Structure 1
Amino acid sequence: MIKGLEDSKIDSIMKIWLEANIRAHDFIPQDYWKANYEYVKKVLPEATIFVYEDGDEIKGFIGIIQETYIAGLFVSDKYQNEGIGSKLLEKCKDHYPALSLDVYAKNIKALNFYKKHGFKVTKEKENDETREIEYSMLWKMI
């Protein structure tokens, strides 16, 4: 079931956030993600968060900021390739007429995932903090 985030579940999604970032971004030192953990946890309530929950377990989540920007889409390692990310993304497409995001060029799996879901690359840039190339992507309802 997809629903809004309950404050009591923030630690659960932060665990997924950290594990998924380390796994998906092996080209960035783990310390970068660990150093940003507390900041992300602090600003998380400012985002619109949809969680995919089965029973009492959160299997994934997506965060939207500034009404259209996907700040992150994360699925627990244990539940990869079960369609959870697609369901979360489709939920957001039902609520927003346009969505944008940034994805690291080296994160081929995520890049292909977003392309499969109709996102187009609009810009290439260097991330100020990591110095890695990332693509800005956009999806618009037709």
Structure 2
Amino acid sequence: MMAVRKSRLDEGARVVEIWRRAVDATHGFLSGEDRQAIDELVCGFLPQAPLWLAVDVEDYPLAFMLIDNGHMEALFVDPVYRGTGIGAALVRHGLVLHPRMTTDVNEQNDQAVGFYEKMGFERTGRSPLDGQGRPYPLVHLKYVGV
């Protein structure tokens, strides 16, 4: 059983842990230097960010999502719980709040691109660089339904 709720400030360390574990499992394309630089940025903002958490029956965070003005900025699932429907549940929650939700995903993360397309997102464009100007192309997606 899982529930979705807003994050609390005292959960910052767990959220960063989820992010690190998920990135290490899915972002093998990042250089070590870029991985470290991104980690520092994430540690500076993620613990205070207004997140949606997927939590288990004991209220332990398993995954999180960040949405800003209808754009999903982040969706990360602890790798132990990947494939269990938690990410899809968070996306569905976000779509209730923002039916025309958009997101960007690293082009090199084939599993994530496939996940979003399966969820009903459609490619709307591509950028050759990520949001920090690094050489990790982004695929832009918009929810169109399934």
TM-score of the two chains, using structure 2 as the length reference:
0.87
Residues 1-142 of structure 1: pairs in structure 2 closer than 5 A: 1-44=3-46, 47-54=49-56, 55-65=58-68, 67-128=69-130, 129-140=133-144
Shift of 1:104: 1.4
Which has the larger displacement, 50-59 or 127-136? 127-136
- Structure 1 CA distance for aligned equivalents of residues 46 and 81 of structure 2: 22
Task: Number of aligned residue pairs: give it.
Answer: 141
Spell out, residue by residue over 1:5-56, the C-alpha distance to the aligned partner (whole angstroms, 9 max, x if none).
0100011011111121122111112432332223223333674311011114
Shift of 1:63: 0.6
Gaps of 5+ in 1: none
- Structure 2 CA distance for aligned equivalents of residues 98 and 61 of structure 1: 20
Q: Provide the alpha-carbon RMSD of the alignment.
A: 1.9
Q: Percent identity?
A: 25
Matched to 1:62, the amino acid is M
Spell out, residue by residue over 1:73-92, the C-alpha distance to the aligned partner (whole angstroms, 9 max, x if none).
01101111100000000000
Segments of 4+ moved more than 6 angstroms:
none
Q: Which has the higher strand share?
A: 1
Gaps of 5+ in 2: none
Contact in 1 for aligned 2:11/2:47 (Cα 8 Å): no
Matched to 1:132, the amino acid is Y
- Structure 2 CA distance for aligned equivalents of residues 124 and 90 of structure 1: 24
Contact in 2 for aligned 1:5/1:51 (Cα 8 Å): yes
